[in-house]
Structure 1
Amino acid sequence: MHERDNARERERKRERERERARERERESERERTRERDRERESARESVRESVRERARIRECERERESECMHERVRARVRECTRERQNTRERERMRVGECEREIVRERERERE
């Protein structure tokens, strides 16, 4: 009887040890799962950061294009302004030439 009690006690000890081993394995699996989750979240965050960076780059490119467009518009405005000024100057020169011609005609008529 004492021997059977000892055998049952040894069996209970072995069962407790197996249960502790199973619990350690479950905890190890939970830790591996948490680590995989952290890695996946890190990868997702890396992708999100990459997407944000590409968006920032696109925004900078749009701003640069907009600035270039504004600069082209300003250059065209300057060019048109110069053309208008040149045209007005040519007109003044023609008017002045016509006035001088009229004066010469009148002087010839007086002669």
Structure 2
Amino acid sequence: MNQEASGKPIRSQEKEKANGVKKEEEEEERRKKKEERRKKKKDEEDEEEEEEEEEEEEEEEEEEEEEEEEEEEQEQEQEEEEEEEEEEEEER
């Protein structure tokens, strides 16, 4: 008879051992998949955050450019007004 001291046949013990190994492998696979999902989600969140920051930076740059253009226009207008005033004074 093929039995160990536990009283179970050796084949039953081998099946239990194989099932235990299989369950451990399945659990490890589930852990890996879960970790991959977490990592993927975090990567996506990081990417979204980075895109939002880039958009904000672009908007700030555009606003700065617009402000600079407005300042230049105002300076140009002021210069033109001063030139006109000088011309008027010269004509007098």
User: Taking structure 1 as the reference length, what is the TM-score of the superposition?
Assistant: 0.73
Sequence identity, in percent? 18
Q: Find the aligned partners of 2:44 and 2:55 in 1 and give their Cα distance.
A: 16
Candidates 85, 88, 91, aligned match of 1:107 = 88
The runs of at least 4 aligned residues of structure 1 exceeding 3 Å deviation read none
Cα RMSD, aligned residues only = 1.6
Q: Which amino acid aligns with 2:34?
A: E
Higher RCO, 1 vs 2 (CA within 8 Å, ≥6 residues apart)? 2
> Number of residues paired by the alignment?
89
Q: Find the aligned partners of 1:105 and 1:51 in 2 and give their Cα distance.
A: 80
* Alignment correspondent of 2:31: 50
Unpaired runs of at least 5, structure 1: 1-21
Candidates 35, 40, 43, aligned match of 2:21 = 40
* Alignment correspondent of 2:43: 62
Unpaired runs of at least 5, structure 2: none
Which has more radius of gyration?
1
Q: Hey, which of these two has a bigger chunk of helix by percent?
A: 1
Q: Find the aligned partners of 1:60 and 1:100 in 2 and give their Cα distance.
A: 60
Q: Please report how far the alpha carbon of residue 28 of structure 1 lies from its aligned counterpart in structure 2 after TM superposition.
A: 2.4
